[in-house]
Amino acid sequence: MKNDRKKILVVEDEAHLAKGLQFNLEREGYLVTLADNGQSALDLLGEEDFDLMVLDIMLPKLSGLEVARKIRNRDMRFPILMLSAKSTDEDREMGLKAGADDYLTKPFHLPELLLRVKGILRRWEWYKEPVHDQEVFQFGDMWINFASGKAKGCSGEFYLTAKEALLMKLLVTKKDTVVTREELLEKVWGYDPQTETRTVDNFVARLRKYFEKAPQTPRHIITHREKGYEFKI
């Protein structure tokens, strides 16, 4: 029988916190592996497949930020939930820039943590579903490989970030229909209270730079005022 329990790697050097996280995540039905420093987290990730990483920032040997950056260099889309006592806006921004999909500050509420883990895994599941039975989505002379995150835009080949890939995938899956900002926020960002609807607009502007020959007069990613966005081939 295939074991379909999701595997989570918890990287936390505080033994008590790690043990508490393991207990609660296992209670929710996940398989949990612990790592107490950044290097052993990367080693474990090389040996086994995981569905999600809960990553502290202040870690011996290799910091959480470096771990996230190293993972993003290898795999653009592996889900990372950063958990840190660093709570300023700059810290949060730094964590998200390093490649975290979500950022939660310590001390945290247990139900919120479990909901966020669930949300990230749900988005990840949805992302892994194939687009129209094909891994590579072609439009004009451009293409996106959602499996690898690689894409070809107006100015050559490049890698999409995890959020860009998720956003693009949602628009492509629902092509020729208007997708509301709220839906984009919920599916891509998981309704993080810190995320503003303007964030969606900024990401769309970035995607247009990649895939539109004239971003000011877009042909593929169309804005519908006060409604949302629509993707057209």
Among 11, 54, 59, 151, binds other proteins (CB under 8 A): 59
Decide whether 61 or 181 has the Cβ nearer to other proteins: 61
Q: Which of residues 76-105 bind other proteins (CB under 8 A)?
A: 85-87
C-beta atoms surrounding 19 within 10 Å: 13
The C-alpha atoms of residue 105 and residue 96 are separated, in whole angstroms, by 13
Strands 80-84 and 102-105: parallel
**115 is a contact residue toward other proteins (CB under 8 A):** no
Closest CA to 52 of 91, 101, 98, 19: 101
- Closer CB to other proteins, 65 or 188, in the complex: 65
Spatial separation of the C-alpha atoms in residues 36 and 217, rounded to whole Å: 50
Q: Does 14 sit near other proteins (CB under 8 A)?
A: yes
- Point out which residues pair with 134 in neighbouring strands: 131
Asked if 118 interacts with other proteins (CB under 8 A), we say no
Type of residue found at 70: K
Among 1, 2, 16, 129, binds other proteins (CB under 8 A): 16
Q: Which residues contact 29 (CB under 8 A, 6 or more apart)?
A: 5, 6
The verdict on 27 binding other proteins (CB under 8 A) reads yes
User: Amino acid identity of 83?
Assistant: L
Q: Among 5, 23, 115, 135, which residue sits at the site for other proteins (rule: CB under 8 A)?
A: 23
Check residue 36 for interaction with other proteins (CB under 8 A).
Answer: yes
Cβ-based nearer residue to other proteins, 106 or 150: 106
Binding site for other proteins (CB under 8 A): 13-17, 19-21, 23-24, 27, 36, 57-61, 63, 85-87, 106-111
